[in-house]
């Protein structure tokens, strides 16, 4: 399941240092998913796990999300404020009919007004506060970068059950306002100083992709589907 969040940040190019945020909030989402099926055969046992039995959903602020995210982040007419922590509780719900192991991929990045990724703007200024790390969620350090964070729920998620939160706040760092570039142009007795904000017209994007594999033969299923070696001991998942 893929959810995308975008917010326009705008600032004027002017001779006076100033910063403004666009009042509008743009939300984009697409519904997808990654499911894994494993068929196991032996002389005395045959088990076929069907795709339709495996299903997971993102839960945002106590509601299952099938459409856009952040719909309740701002009140009507309210503008996003730099440095303000907004409530953004995120977890995963097993809406399938079998027990599952769950993984979450989070991507953070900036794009310009044409939708092209801006590679020189830091995704670290998009601060999604992760919680319950180590106790319930494991960060795959080998697969994670500044732009991407890969999380594994370290327990078996029963059908029709929900994980603890993996995030609880969203903040756009106030450091955005300090990323400026000045140019000076002198004509006669006058010097014009132009301040250009590096994030002028940029949009921040967050993508959360949730997928799952079945309980049966889960270690092999995770390796086959996600390319990750794990250990499972009494239902508890560990990263090798």
pLDDT tens, position by position, 17-47: 222 222 222 332 222 333 333 333 333 333 3
Q: Which residue has the tokens 């984009």?
A: 28
Q: What rounded mean pLDDT belongs to the chain? A: 77
| Mean predicted confidence (pLDDT) in 184-200 | 79
Q: Is the pLDDT of residue 104 over 70?
A: yes
Q: Are 75 and 67 in contact (CB under 8 A)?
A: no
Question: Residue 116: is it exposed, middle or buried by C-beta count within 10 angstroms (0-12/13-18/19+)?
Answer: exposed
pTM: 0.76
- Provide the residue range defining the domain that includes 197: 2-239
Per-residue confidence (pLDDT) for residue 223, from 0 to 100: 95
Confidence grade of residue 164 (pLDDT, cut at 50, 70, 90): very high
pLDDT of the residue at 29: 27
Q: How many domains does the chain have?
A: 1
Beta bridge partners of 118: none
């Amino acid at each position: 399941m893929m959810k995308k969040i975008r917010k326009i940040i705008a600032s004027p190019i002017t001779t006076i240092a100033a910063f403004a945020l666009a009042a509008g909030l743009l939300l984009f989402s697409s519904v997808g998913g990654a499911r894994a099926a494993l068929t196991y055969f032996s002389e005395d046992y045959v088990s076929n796990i069907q795709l339709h039995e495996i299903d997971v959903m993102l839960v945002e602020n106590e509601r299952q999300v099938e459409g856009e995210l952040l719909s309740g982040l701002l009140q009507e007419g309210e503008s996003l404020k730099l440095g303000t922590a907004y409530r953004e509780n995120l977890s995963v719900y097993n809406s399938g009919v079998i027990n599952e192991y769950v993984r979450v991929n989070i991507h953070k990045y900036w794009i310009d007004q044409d939708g092209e990724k801006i590679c020189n703007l830091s995704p670290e200024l998009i601060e999604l506060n992760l919680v319950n790390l180590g106790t319930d969620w494991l960060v795959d350090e080998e697969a994670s970068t500044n732009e991407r964070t890969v999380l594994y729920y370290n327990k078996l998620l029963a059908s029709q059950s929900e994980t603890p939160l993996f995030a609880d706040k969203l903040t756009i760092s106030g450091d955005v306002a300090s990323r400026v570039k000045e140019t000076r142009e002198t004509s006669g007795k006058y010097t014009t100083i132009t301040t250009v904000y590096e994030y002028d017209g940029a949009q921040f994007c967050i993508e959360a992709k949730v997928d799952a594999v079945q309980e049966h033969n889960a270690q092999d299923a995770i390796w086959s589907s996600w390319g990750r070696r794990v250990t499972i001991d009494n239902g508890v998942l560990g990263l090798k």
